[in-house]
Amino acid sequence: MTSRQDACRDAAGVEPDPRRWKALAVTLVAGFMSLLDVSIVNVALPSIQRGLDATSGEVQWVVSGYALTFGLMLVSGGRLGDALGRRRMFLIALSSFVLTSALAGAAPDEATLVLARLLQGFAAGMLTPQNTGLIQDLFRGAERGKAFGLFGATVGISTAVGPVLGGLIIAGFGEQDGWRWVFFVNIPIGAVALLLAARLLPPAGPRRRRLRTEIDLLGMVLLGLAVLGVLLPLVQSEQGGLSRLWWMFPLAAVFGFAFVCWERHRVRRERPPLLDPRLFTRTPGYATGASLGAMYFCGFAGIWLVFALFFQQGLGYSPLESGLAVTPFAVGSAASAAVAGRLVARWRRRLTVTGLALVGIGLATVALIVLLVPADSEGAAVALPLLVAGIGGGMVISPNTTLTLERVPPELAGVAGGALQTGQRIGTAIGTAVLASVFHAVAAEGRFPAALSAAMLCAVAFVGCAFVLAVLELRREPHRSHAKITQKVTASSPFE
């Protein structure tokens, strides 16, 4: 073995996979597609409605159905990756995502399209947790921070550029059938990623247990019902879901309590749980990091719908122009996320605190500017504060993911990443519902600048709550031991 190979060994003496960066690139491309499909379809809804002669309520399920099943599957998808092997689950999920994308693009009516989107969301929910799990498996030390930096850039860019890409695709293929290519574009990209993943992703090792003992089916059902009870009223909020389905929230609390009790019972019986409660009680920083991520996504992900409403309904922008107006956020987020990934090992929570402060300052400035400048200058006027907010956003997602998952046992990386992203999906649904409701309430009087300002201030409040959590976690870090934690991995529990 050469001296260079010796240098590449991690602290445990294990030589890293020489193809790890290529494998990461492939998985990030697939992850980008699944996350992009959360936002890219928004600008295509009018085209879909005209093309399929559908009602606004029916076509809204094209967006909300995907978000719903995506959130439902994340934890279970992560656990299946932990149990069956991430390579196997990645290939199954990506194949399913490509096939359901083809079905959505070829849908002859709205019912088929909604069904395809529900299935596509399930596939995306299985696919996304494999990204964080593979990063935990393939990278160590400073390299893991860089890898999560690229993952964070992928999350930020996919969320922010969806409206731009959707507008470009519809402009290129026409209003009547352009929406179909929003889905068809996934087919060639996904097919190439599938072939490369089959070559580059490392195979799973032998399982220690039989599959039926590793999969917690009752836990999947209980957690699924709890998440459904939270998400369904929120994703249907534009159609009066909060007033019609409010009764699902207490039902979700009941199922959530039953889920926690069942998981504790599984742990006592020394059977693998779906989501080990000790991730939250015995893993330093995990509970706070997951809460911080969910709260940040309430503010971050909720702004895109209100920006689209403001620019298109208030200022008369086209979908493409509306998407381009918020591009500075995406540019700033992409650049800072990659840099933050390299700095997280040294600066740790200080990065997150600084990033959240910049996001809050940027969005608060937007709230002020739109009240002061003329309507024909507002698009250009908000570019700089959106760039500042984007730079801050890139310093939040990837460092928080790295720090939240850094002490998670590798064999639980998939389910831990799935739980982290489930919180982000719930945060997205809450933020979108709250910010859109505030915007519509004020815009009903024709005051679009005031409506955007009010929604931005709500986003700042959510970001402020995340900031408080980050400061609390920053103050806890010096009191924790920075010595390396030796983990005994046993057949019964990685926490023993």
Over residues 365-410, the pLDDT tens digits come to 999 998 888 877 878 888 899 999 989 988 888 788 878 877 777 6
CB atoms within 10 A of CB 474: 15
3-class SS at 27?
Answer: helix
The residue among 92 and 131 whose pLDDT is bigger is 92
Token reading at 234: 């929120």
Name residues whose C-beta falls within 8 Å of residue 339's C-beta, 6 or more positions apart in sequence: 149, 394
The residue among 270 and 359 whose pLDDT is bigger is 359
The residue among 130 and 484 whose pLDDT is bigger is 130
Given a cut of 80, whether residue 59 has pLDDT beyond it is: no
Say how far apart CA 291 and CA 172 lie, in whole Å: 41
Say how far apart CA 324 and CA 318 lie, in whole Å: 10
Residue 487 backbone class (left: φ over 0; alpha: ψ -120 to 50; beta: rest): beta
Token reading at 368: 């002020």
C-alpha closest to that of 403 among 288, 315, 317, 302: 288
Say how far apart CA 37 and CA 122 lie, in whole Å: 12
Q: Is residue 16 packed enough to be buried (19+ CB in 10 Å), middle (13-18) or exposed (0-12)?
A: middle
Name residues whose C-beta falls within 8 Å of residue 60's C-beta, 6 or more positions apart in sequence: 45, 236, 238, 239
Say how far apart CA 259 and CA 150 lie, in whole Å: 34
pLDDT tens string 101-127: 999 999 888 888 989 998 998 898 888
Most confident of 283-287, 440-444, 448-452: 448-452
Residue 287: the pLDDT is 85
Residue 36 Cα to chain centre, angstroms: 10
Contact 445, 247 (CB under 8 A): no
Furthest-apart CA atoms within the chain: distance in Å = 73
Given a cut of 70, whether residue 210 has pLDDT beyond it is: no
Residue 205: the pLDDT is 61
Contact 74, 93 (CB under 8 A): no
Given a cut of 60, whether residue 209 has pLDDT beyond it is: no
Given CA atoms 234, 235, 241, 245 in this order, what sign does their dihedral have? negative
Averaged over 246-251, what is the pLDDT?
86
Question: Which residue, chain included where needed, has tokens 């009087």?
Answer: 445
Say how far apart CA 102 and CA 86 lie, in whole Å: 24
Averaged over 173-182, what is the pLDDT?
80
Cα 215–Cα 221–Cα 226 angle in degrees, nearest 5: 130
Given CA atoms 361, 364, 368, 371 in this order, what sign does their dihedral have? positive
Q: 92 falls in which pLDDT band (50, 70, 90)?
A: very high
Residue 478: the pLDDT is 58
Contact 285, 403 (CB under 8 A): yes
Contact 195, 253 (CB under 8 A): no
Residue 226 backbone class (left: φ over 0; alpha: ψ -120 to 50; beta: rest): alpha
Mean per-residue pLDDT over the chain, rounded: 80
C-alpha closest to that of 103 among 93, 115, 95: 115
Beta strands in 180-227 (DSSP E): none
Given CA atoms 285, 132, 8, 493 in this order, what sign does their dihedral have? positive
Contact 77, 125 (CB under 8 A): yes
Given a cut of 50, whether residue 472 has pLDDT beyond it is: yes
Say how far apart CA 61 and CA 193 lie, in whole Å: 28
CATH architecture assignment, domain 17-201+214-475: Up-down Bundle (1.20)
- What percent of the chain stands above pLDDT 70? 87
Contact 328, 458 (CB under 8 A): no
Counting every residue written for the chain, the total comes to 496
Given a cut of 80, whether residue 74 has pLDDT beyond it is: yes
Most confident of 117-121, 163-167, 261-265: 117-121
Residue 491: the pLDDT is 39
Q: 57 falls in which pLDDT band (50, 70, 90)?
A: low
